[in-house]
Amino acid sequence: MEIRVQQEPFAAGGELDAFTARADGAGAVVSFSGIVRDDSGKMAEMVIEHYPGMTERALETIAQEAMERWSLADALVIHRFGTMQPGEQIMMVATASRHRKDAFEAAEFLMDYLKSRAPFWKKEHGSDGTSWVAAKQEDEDALKRW
Amino acid sequence: MIDVLYFAWLRERIGLPKERIETSAETVADLVAELAAREERYALAFSDISALRVAVDQELTEFDAPLAGAREVAFFPPMTGG
């Protein structure tokens, strides 16, 4: 299990290759990448604030729960903070298991939880000012299925 | 003494990320009432606590949580990770 909270960009392809190489004996690897999306067409950059200390603890707790609930060989969470442009990678999760069902479900669980339970806040900076991204009720509702 | 932290728009409205305060508040809600009574900007920031979340010593909790022994309380809007 590896958790990384970092400002600098990362290469999802290289991370996934390294993760797969470490997940010895796993027959399935699932990965998800989150990318800065510009819905308004006016976004210049996104700034992600976080709560140093709590962020790492929350991600560890969420990943640990995934390891306990599913039969996983390994799990990886990388989440960035700071300033990024549309198209840049914000975060990725990867899960490895013997069979694909565990890896898929655990990856979805990780995503659902870190959307609403990891202390990150996104702010969009655009040509028409700045605005905090509001949390969505559907993201909160998504936790109920677990 | 307790460290009180603010994040995202709450930090902007209050105008600082962190402060160390002397308090005898027994619960998070008591602390909120104390802060809100200080100045207008605090009153505004805490006017609707249903729009806020709280962590005590870096663990998410509820507003009725006790503060006995707590070193750090953080207030923030719902999180938007991922």
pLDDT in tens, A104-128: 999 999 999 999 999 999 999 998 8
Mean per-residue pLDDT over chain A, rounded: 96
A37 found inside a domain: yes
B59, B74, B80 ranked by CB distance to A133: nearest: B80
pLDDT single digits (tens) A61-109: 999 999 999 999 999 999 999 999 999 999 999 999 999 999 999 999 9
Sorted by sequence, the CB contacts under 8 Å of residue B54 that are 6+ apart come out as B28, B60, B61, B62, B63, B65, B73, B74, B75, B76
Q: What is the CATH number of the domain that holds A125?
A: 3.90.1170.40
B2-76, what's its fold? Ubiquitin-like (UB roll) (3.10.20)
* Residue A24 reports pLDDT greater than 90: no
Q: Which domain holds residue A97?
A: 2-136
Spell out a b/e string for B66-79, using b for 16 or more CB atoms within 10 Å of the CB, else e.
ebeebebbbbbbbb
Say whether residue B60 is in contact with chain A using an 8 A CB cutoff: yes
| Reported ipTM | 0.95
Checking phi first, is residue A75 left (phi over 0); if not, alpha (psi -120 to 50) or beta? beta
Yes or no: say if B36 and B46 are a contact pair by the CB < 8 Å rule. yes
Yes or no: say if B82 and A78 are a contact pair by the CB < 8 Å rule. no
Q: Which residue has the tokens 């979340």?
A: B53
Please count the structural domains in chain A.
1
Say whether residue B61 is in contact with chain A using an 8 A CB cutoff: no
Residue among A115, A114, A140 at smallest CA distance from B50: A140
Write down the domain spans for chain B: 2-76
Share of chain A above pLDDT 70, in %: 100
* Residue A25 reports pLDDT greater than 90: no
Polymer length of chain A: 146
Say whether residue A121 is in contact with chain B using an 8 A CB cutoff: yes
